[in-house]
Every structure is written in C-alpha cells, then in structure tokens.
Chains A and B, each alone.
Chain A
Amino acid sequence: MANSGPKGIVRYEETLVANAVAVAVTGVAGNSGAATGIGWLTSIDTGDTAFTRAMSATKGLHLAGSMAATNNNLIELCGDQLMFYGQTGFNAVDVLLQLDTVATVAFNFGFNDDVIEAANTLPIEGTATTMSTNSSAFCGIIYDPNMDNDELHAYWCDDGVASTETLANMRMQGFSIVADHWLWMRVEMQDRGSGNGVRATFHAAQNGKTMTKEFNTSVDRDVGLCWYLGIENRAGLARGAYVKLPSWEQSIAD
C-alpha cells in the first residue's frame, strides 16, 4: 500500500457462517461466479459429492465433500474470481485440509490461472520425477503418490513453462501426509518489482511437523490467479475430503 488506509493488507477468513459455496459446471471456468452470496465455487466428477457446509463433533463447522471409487476423479474448491496478481505486492492463500484415506490421492493447493479445471485434470500432476503442467500459470503445493518421493513439493509454472528448480530442492523432505488430521497449507507471493518473477513462500504443518520453503519463481507479476484446491484419485478408492477456514490475504497497492 502507498500511504493511505488503516492497514496494508486485506485478510479474509471463510468461517462458513453463511453458505457462500456454489457448484460450478464441471470444466466450465467461472460458472455462476457472479451470483449474489457466492464467494467460492466447487466442481466434481461423476459420482463425487460436492463440498457443502457440514458439522461434526470433532471437526466443528467445516466443508465436507467425497470422492467416488473412480481413478482420476477430481474434486475442486476455488475462489470465484481470478483476483490475485503478484504486483499488488503481497498475496497469500491458506487452508486446512483433511482426508479420511490418504493412500493413492494427489492434490494441488495454491494459486491457479483457471477457476475450475477440466474433469480429471489437476493443474500439476506428478509422475516418478516429472511434473506435468496442465495450467499455464500455477504456484503452490503439490502432493502426488505417483512420484518416487510421495512428499509435499513446492512448485510453479508460468506461461506454460515449468519451474526449472531441481525436484530435490522443491521437495519438503520427510513431509508426507496422514489421514484424519488437519493439514494446514499456506502459499505466499511477494512482488519483486518490474521484470522479475514473484518470490513465493510455501508452508505446510501437520501432525507435529512444519515445513517452509522459499524461492524466487518464474511466475509473472501480472498474471491473474485464483484461490485453488484440487484433489484427485490415483486409484479406485473412495474417500472423504474436508476443508476448514479457507483464507486469503491481499495487500493494498496504489
């Protein structure tokens, strides 16, 4: 922020006190995004159950969705707008994610250039030691059991060009995930000025472990991005997916 306003950053925490989640048509970006009362969109593949407000004795008020026992089924929760640009100065997204079965599941969390992806397609998918970039621009945390090391990874791509950072550097070594515990993830972007890719910080915390990684990325500062969480089956296992306190921060420029 320049020299105006009560503080430099807007922070929004989705307490889920009101129902602000709409179901988007699978594969259609931005569907129903402008409806009154809507701040989030969810998309599912055949047989899945969309995220809805749910209550439980242990989780409190949260969002619950589920995946059918179909390989490659994808369930997504996104902000309804492409509202993040690195050049505002500072941006962050965070979420609490919980799964009741963590075997053979892949997920992406962070900033993505599409509100909702096509069916069966995460923005970034890993195999062995290779990341496949389906998005043109993405910056976030990847988990994919198809990789040799099924730990969390920091990752980004820009203009369809994958990060050239070595996989070993991007891997959060020793940080796998466990079932039935909240996994907190946070991705921050800081502007580095004209002509430079944004700097990004990746945090994860679960089950007593915390990990942070920071990189100068190749993500352009003028690319429009949205809050993105996608979870994809890597085998025919049904599972429940739960989300709590999706949040974002955005600094006030000008």
Chain B
Amino acid sequence: MASVGKTGIVRYEETLAVNNIGTGLIGLDGGTNAATGVAWLQSLDTGGASFTRSMSETKGLHLAGSLDSSDGDLAEFCGDQIMFYGQVGHQAVEVMLQVDQASSMVINFGLNDEITDSSNDIPVTLSTSTWLSTATSFIGLVKDFDAANDEFHCFWVDDGNDATVPLDKLRMKGLEFVKDKWCWMRVETQDQGSGRPLVATFEVVQDGKHVAKEFVTSLDRDAALCWYLGIANRAGIARGVFLKLPAWEQGIAD
C-alpha cells in the first residue's frame, strides 16, 4: 500500500447477519448475479438443496445446504465477483466447512477463474494419483476420496497447466476429513513482483490437527479469480453441507 488508508488490507468476514446470497450466474442454473444486496452466489445440480441461512443449537447461525444421492452432483458457493488478482500484493480466502457424511466426495476450496462452474464439473479432481483440472486458473485445497491418499492436497493451475510439484509434496500428510466438525481452510497468495508467479500458503485445521504448506506456484499475478468452494459427490450418498464465516482479505495496492 502507498500512503493512504488506515490499514494495508481489507478484510471481510461474512457473519450471515444479513441475507445476501443469490443463486448462480444469469443464464446458468437460474442465476441472479449482481442483484442488489447480493455478495455470494451458489449453484446446485438437480436434487441439491440451496445454501440458506440456518440456525441450530450447536452451529448457531450458519449456511446449510445439501447434496442428494446422485454421483457427480456438485454444490458450489462463490463470491459474486472475479475480484482477486495476485498483483494487488496479498490476498486470502477462508471458510469453515462441515459435512454430516464425510465419505466419497471431493472438495475444492480457494480461488477459481469462474464464478460457479458447469454442472457436475468441479475445477480439480485427484483420481488415485492423477490430477484432472477443468479450470484454466485455480489455486486452492483439494480433498478427493478417489485419491490414493485421501488427505488434503494443495494444488494450482495456470493457463490450463497443472502444478508440476510432486504429489507427496502437495499432500497434507495425516490431515483427513471428519464429519460433524468444523474444518477451517485458508488459502493465501503473495505477490513476488513483475514476471514472477505467486507464492501461496495453504492452511487446514480440523479435529485438533493443523497443517500449513507454502509453495512458489506457477500462477500468474494477473490471473483474475474469485472466492470458490465446490463440493461434489463421488458416489450416491446424500449429505448435509454447512458453512460458517466465509471470509476474504485483499491488500491495498497503488
């Protein structure tokens, strides 16, 4: 930041005090992008239940949605704008995620180049030890029960090219995913200046375990990205999906 403003970073925490969630993009899954008062968008496949503000004795005010028992079904929750560029200096996204059935699913959380993806099309999957990316640019955490080691992995894609770091380096060893507990995830990028890709820090905390990893990625600093969470079924198991305190940070450049 130059010499303006009281802090160098804008931080937004979505307390859910106000209802500000719309459906997906206009023309895609019946969306209402850019409606007044909307800051988040979601997209669901047939049979899924939209994320809505919900209350419970144990979770307090949170977002609750669900996936039905269809293999491949995808539930997505995104910022309503492509608003992150590495070259602003620092940026981060966070969320607390909880599911009531933690088997046979895939999770992507981080920054994606599209606000909601196509039906049944999560940006990144990991089958046994093979990455499959459908996004042009993505950086975030991937948890896939079809992977040989179904732990969290860090991953990124730039201009359609996958990360080339070995799988065992990307893997958050020992950090699996349990049901009925909040899993906190954070993905942070730092700019390295002109001509150089972003440095990224990946963090996950759940059930007493905390893993952080940091890499010099191949992601361009001018890639335009949005806050992205996608959860897809890997088998025909219905599950409830709950979110709390989605948040982001963005450095103040210029």
Q: Which residues of A approach B to under 8 Å, CB–CB?
A: 1-6, 10-12, 14, 18, 20, 34-39, 79-85, 87-88, 91, 221-222, 224, 248, 250-254
Sorting the interface of chain B by its residue count into under 10, 10 to 19, 20 to 34 or 35 or more gives 35 or more
Complexed CA–CA distance, A91 and B55 (Å) = 13
A interface secondary structure, majority: loop
Contact B15 A4 (CB under 8 A): no
The interface residues of chain A lying within 8 Å CB-to-CB of B245 are 5-6, 10, 252
Contact B244 A252 (CB under 8 A): yes
Contact A4 B182 (CB under 8 A): yes
- Minimum C-beta distance from A6 to chain B (A): 7
Contact B59 A254 (CB under 8 A): yes
Contact B183 A36 (CB under 8 A): no
Complexed CA–CA distance, A36 and B42 (Å) = 14
Query: What residue of chain A has the Cβ atom nearest to residue B17's Cβ?
Result: A12
Contact B60 A10 (CB under 8 A): yes
The interface residues of chain A lying within 8 Å CB-to-CB of B60 are 10, 83-85, 88, 91, 250-253
Contact B61 A83 (CB under 8 A): yes
Contact A85 B56 (CB under 8 A): yes
- Minimum C-beta distance from B57 to chain A (A): 4
The interface residues of chain B lying within 8 Å CB-to-CB of A14 are 17
Contact A39 B19 (CB under 8 A): yes
Choice from A5, A224, A253 contacting B58 with Cβ under 8 Å: A253
Contact A3 B207 (CB under 8 A): yes
Interface pick from B32-40, B138-146, B215-223 = B32-40
Choice from B53, B206, B207, B247 contacting A81 with Cβ under 8 Å: B53
Q: Can you report 10 residue pairs joining A to B where beta carbons are below 8 Å apart?
A: A1-B182, A5-B96, A6-B186, A14-B17, A20-B17, A36-B19, A37-B18, A88-B58, A91-B60, A253-B60
Complexed CA–CA distance, A11 and B186 (Å) = 20
Contact B55 A18 (CB under 8 A): no
Contact B37 A81 (CB under 8 A): no
Contact A12 B59 (CB under 8 A): no
The interface residues of chain B lying within 8 Å CB-to-CB of A4 are 96, 181-184, 205-207
- Minimum C-beta distance from A178 to chain B (A): 30
For chain B, residues 174 to 193, give those with C-beta under 8 angstroms from any C-beta of chain A: 180-184, 186
Complexed CA–CA distance, A11 and B208 (Å) = 24
Contact A88 B180 (CB under 8 A): no
The interface residues of chain B lying within 8 Å CB-to-CB of A6 are 94, 184, 186, 245, 247
- Tell whether A35 pairs with B55 under 8 Å between CB atoms, given A10-B60, A252-B60: no
Complexed CA–CA distance, A2 and B182 (Å) = 8
Complexed CA–CA distance, A12 and B20 (Å) = 15
Contact B20 A37 (CB under 8 A): yes
Contact A39 B18 (CB under 8 A): yes
Contact A81 B55 (CB under 8 A): yes
For chain B, residues 18 to 61, give those with C-beta under 8 angstroms from any C-beta of chain A: 18-22, 35-38, 52-53, 55-61
Contact with A along B219-254 (1 / 0, CB 8 A): 000000000000000000000000011010000000
Query: What residue of chain B has the Cβ atom nearest to residue A2's Cβ?
Result: B181
Complexed CA–CA distance, A250 and B244 (Å) = 12
Known: A12-B17, A36-B36. 19 other contacts (CB 8 A): A4-B207, A5-B96, A5-B205, A6-B94, A10-B13, A14-B17, A36-B37, A39-B17, A83-B60, A87-B57, A224-B57, A248-B17, A251-B60, A252-B182, A252-B245, A253-B60, A254-B58, A254-B98, A254-B182
Top-4 shortest CB links A-B: A37-B37, A39-B18, A12-B15, A12-B17
Complexed CA–CA distance, A57 and B59 (Å) = 41
The interface residues of chain A lying within 8 Å CB-to-CB of B53 are 34, 81
Complexed CA–CA distance, A38 and B37 (Å) = 9
The interface residues of chain B lying within 8 Å CB-to-CB of A10 are 13, 15, 60-61, 244-245
Contact B36 A37 (CB under 8 A): yes
Complexed CA–CA distance, A38 and B94 (Å) = 24
Complexed CA–CA distance, A18 and B245 (Å) = 20
Complexed CA–CA distance, A248 and B55 (Å) = 15
Contact B205 A37 (CB under 8 A): no
Contact B15 A37 (CB under 8 A): no
The interface residues of chain B lying within 8 Å CB-to-CB of A38 are 18-19
- Minimum C-beta distance from B174 to chain A (A): 15
Complexed CA–CA distance, A87 and B96 (Å) = 19
- Minimum C-beta distance from A81 to chain B (A): 6
Query: What residue of chain A has the Cβ atom nearest to residue B207's Cβ?
Result: A3
Choice from A36, A87, A222, A250 contacting B61 with Cβ under 8 Å: A250
- Minimum C-beta distance from B209 to chain A (A): 8
Contact A34 B19 (CB under 8 A): yes
